[in-house]
Amino acid sequence: MKQETIDRIRKFVSDRDWNQFHTPSNMAKSIAIEAAELLECFQWSDTEYDLQHVKEELADVMVYCQDMLDALGLDADEIVNMKMDQNEAKYPVEKAKGSAAKYTEL
pLDDT in tens, 61-91: 999 999 999 999 999 999 999 999 999 999 9
- For residue 64, count CB atoms less than 10 angstroms from its CB and return exposed for 0-12, middle for 13-18, buried for 19 or more: buried
Q: What CATH superfamily classification does 1-73 receive?
A: MazG-like (1.10.287.1080)
- For residue 17, is it left (φ>0), alpha (ψ between -120 and 50) or beta? left
Domain spans in the chain, listed from the N-terminal domain onward: 1-73, 75-106
pLDDT at position 35 is 98
